[in-house]
Every structure is written in C-alpha cells, then in structure tokens.
C-alpha cells in the first residue's frame, strides 16, 4: 500500500518552460552582479569554494561567473550552481519578479493526497531552498505545508539508485510503500532499481515516454 509520494518538479508538478525560459534566464542575468555583491557572505563563499573544487582550480569572481553562466546554459545539475540559483531566485520571489509555476492539477492533487494521509516529499535537482520557494509562491498559494520533506542533489544524483535508497532511509518507509513521480525515464529507472513504485508524467510533447513505467497525463489520474 502506498504511504508516501515523492515528486519531481520540472516536467512533473511544474512546466519545463517555466524552469528553462524564466528561472534559468533570471539566474543567469543576475549571477555576476550577485557574486560581486555577495562574495563576502559565508554561504556564497562556500558555494564558490565548491565551484573551485568541481573545476579543480582557484577562480576570480568573474571567472566563477563565466563558469556558472555556462553551466546554466548547459543545464548542469551541479550542487553549488543549484545553491546559488536558489539564492538569486529568493530575491526574485521576494520582490515579486518571480511566481512559482505549478500546473492547475498540482495543488488540487497535493491537497487531496495530503488529506488522504499520504506523506508528500519533493526530490528535485533544484536546491531544497529553491524547492520551498517555488511551492511557497504559487498562484494557488503557499503549498509548502503539504510537504513532509525535501531532497536535492546533496542526497545524490537523480539518475542513481543509491539516491533513492538514501531517501528511503531518511523517510523511514519501505520501498514498495513509496511512489515516485517524474517525467524522466532515467530517474524512474533509478527509483525502480531501489524498489519504489513509479509513474511517468507525460504532460507535453517534451516528455520521452518510457514503457518500463506506468504513465499519466497529469495528477488527476494518480491516486484519485
Ligand atoms: C526548484 S525549481 C528549479 C528546478 C531546477 O533547478 C532544475 O534543475 C530542475 O530539476 P528537476 O530535478 O526538478 O527536473
Ligand atoms: Mg523532471
């Protein structure tokens, strides 16, 4: 019996276009100035140290900005990039330039599942802070009270089975009591490898169907 649901964000609760056409350009547009102004902040400096560790050399602020802008263009799921993006988006949500996109069926289903007693979790490449921001600033209100926990790349890459095994340990559920929702077949394959149940969201023509998993067009079709 399903007791917990873990959901991906991009392509699952929220549109790929919002992430790629709004969030990523916003982070790229503000990255260099943010680093110049905030490099004295401990958390920013820690993220910059992690960028240097990834590339294996010391970097000036402008060299780091060049690399981070390139990683945004390449949609790299690198933890320090994701940390810095979350910090920049926080400013955009606070000043009203950003609103978190969720499909209309997302808040309806999340509230239905929550009321039915399912424990709800997020697992996204976006940082935990960025996850709380997108769900905290939607046109449907603050959805964060519905979630019991959040996981990002700090627990491991989304395409590796070990990441899902680590999440299971954190949430204290047996694998077959947990349903993972994502649009990406490789993520669902990794979750299935850890014993989780899986459903692939096929919300638009960007999703590549994977016949190895149950499929749904939207959340209305899942645990109705
Ligand atoms: C927290 S919204 C931004 C999501 C993000 O940065 C990203 O790379 C999308 O990753 P996902 O794992 O949700 O596909
Ligand atoms: Mg996705």
Task: Enter the tokens of residue 59.
Answer: 């970097």
Are 76 and 111 in a shared domain? Answer: no
* DSSP state for residue 74 in the 8-state scheme: T
Q: If the chain, 224 residues long, is cut into consecutive pieces of 10 residues, what is the mean pLDDT of each piece?
A: 98 98 98 98 98 98 98 97 98 98 98 98 98 98 98 98 98 98 98 98 93 97 94
Are 136 and 69 in a shared domain? Answer: no
Domain boundary among 38, 59, 94: 94
ipTM of the complex: 0.97
Q: Give the C-alpha distances (Å, rounded to integers) separating 213 from 65, 73, 153, 166, 201.
A: 39, 30, 23, 22, 10
Are 72 and 160 in a shared domain? Answer: no
Predicted pLDDT at 204: 86
Are 45 and 147 in a shared domain? Answer: no
Task: Enter the tokens of residue 22.
Answer: 């709004």
CATH number where 64 lies = 1.10.720
CATH number where 163 lies = 3.40.50.1000
Are 159 and 68 in a shared domain? Answer: no
Predicted pLDDT at 46: 98
Atom of ligand 1 nearest to the CA of 183: 14
Where in the sequence is the domain holding 169, given as residue range(s)? 4-15+100-221
Kindly give, in sequence order, each residue whose CB lies less than 8 Å from that of residue 29, ignoring residues fewer than 6 positions away: none
Ligand 2 geometric centre to CA of 187 (Å): 8
Pocket of ligand 1 (CB under 6 A): 8-10, 19, 23, 77, 82, 124-126, 130-131, 134, 158
Predicted pLDDT at 206: 87
Are 90 and 109 in a shared domain? Answer: no
Ligand 1 geometric centre to CA of 84 (Å): 13
């Amino acid at each position: 019996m399903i007791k917990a649901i873990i959901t991906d964000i991009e392509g699952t609760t929220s549109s790929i276009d919002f992430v790629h056409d709004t969030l990523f350009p916003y982070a790229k547009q503000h990255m260099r100035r943010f680093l110049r102004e905030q490099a004295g902040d401990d958390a920013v400096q820690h993220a910059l140290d992690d960028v240097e560790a990834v590339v294996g050399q010391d970097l000036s602020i402008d060299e780091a900005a060049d690399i981070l802008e390139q990683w945004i263009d390449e949609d790299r799921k690198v933890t320090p990039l994701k940390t810095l993006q979350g910090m920049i988006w926080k400013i955009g949500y606070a000043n009203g330039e950003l609103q978190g996109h969720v499909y209309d069926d997302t808040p309806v289903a999340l509230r239905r599942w929550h009321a039915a007693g399912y424990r709800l979790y997020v697992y996204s490449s976006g940082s935990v802070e960025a996850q709380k921001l997108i769900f905290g600033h939607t046109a449907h209100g603050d959805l964060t009270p519905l979630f019991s926990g959040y996981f990002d790349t700090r627990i491991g890459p989304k395409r590796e089975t070990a990441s899902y095994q680590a999440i299971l340990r954190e949430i204290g559920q047996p694998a077959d009591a947990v349903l993972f929702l994502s649009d990406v077949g490789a993520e669902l394959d990794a979750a299935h490898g850890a014993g989780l149940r899986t459903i692939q969201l096929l919300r638009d023509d960007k999703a590549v169907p994977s016949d190895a998993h149950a499929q749904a067009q939207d959340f209305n079709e899942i645990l109705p």
